[in-house]
Amino acid sequence: MTPAYFWGCVRQFELVPVGRAVKRRSNHFALRGVLPSKGEIGEMGFRRIVVRRFDDMRKITARDIQVFVAGALSSTGFHALIRVAYSATLAGNIRDTFAWAMVGLLLPCGIGIFLGSTLALRLTQIYLCIMVVFGVVALIAGGIFRLRPFHVPLTWAYVVGIALDAILLALLLWSRSRRFTDAHA
C-alpha cells in the first residue's frame, strides 16, 4: 500500500501516531478494519484512526437545499409529463391534460436549478408562488364555499399538493436568505 493511496482513502479521518496518547472524549471513537493489516499500520507508524463525529460535520449550504428542491421538482415534473401522455391518449380530457402539462413544467425548472441557473431558480420561485396562491384560492372557493367552477374532486390530495409546493417554495426562499448569503461574503 503506497502512502498516496493510504491518504486518499482516509483523508477525512484524523490519524493518531503511535507514540501519542489519545484522550477519551465523547465526540471521538476508534474505527476498526479500515486498513488491510496490522503490519502496514506498524510500518506507517499509526496505531488507530479516529473519526470526529460532531466537530467536523458539514453544515447545510444554500446549494444543498437548492439541489434537494431541484430533485423533488424534477421527480414531480417527470411524473406529470407521463400523466400528460396518458391524459392526451386515453382519457381525452383537455382540462386534465393542461393541468398535468402545467405541473410538467417543473422538470425543466428542476434541471435548471440543478445546473445552477439563477433564471431557473427565479422562475421556479414565481411558479411555486403562483401555484400556492391560486391553489389556496381554489381550495377555499371550491371546498368551503362550494363554488362549482372551483370544485376540487380529491380535496386531501389537493391539500397535500399545495403543502408540498409551499414547503418547496419556503426552502427556496430560505436558501436565498441572508443567513446563507452572509456566509459566502
pLDDT in tens, 52-64: 454 445 788 899 9
Confirm whether 120 is domain-assigned.
yes
Number of structural domains the chain divides into:
2
Residue range 35-61: average pLDDT? 55
Count CB neighbours of 29 within 10 A. Answer: 11
**Amino acid at residue number 142:** G
Residue range 130-141: average pLDDT? 90
Confirm whether 185 is domain-assigned.
no
Which residues constitute the domain of residue 86?
62-180
Confirm whether 57 is domain-assigned.
no
Does residue 127 contact residue 76 with C-beta atoms inside 8 Å? no
Whether residues 17 and 95 share a domain: the answer is: no
Whether residues 74 and 124 share a domain: the answer is: yes
Does residue 81 contact residue 104 with C-beta atoms inside 8 Å? yes
**Whole-number Cα distances in Å, 157 to 98, 126, 139, 153:** 18, 22, 11, 9
Query: What number of residues does the chain have?
Result: 185
Whether residues 123 and 70 share a domain: the answer is: yes
Whether residues 13 and 85 share a domain: the answer is: no
Higher pLDDT, 145 or 135: 135
User: 33: closest CA among 21, 22, 41, 43?
Assistant: 41
Strands (DSSP E) contained in 9-167 are 14-17, 28-31, 46-52
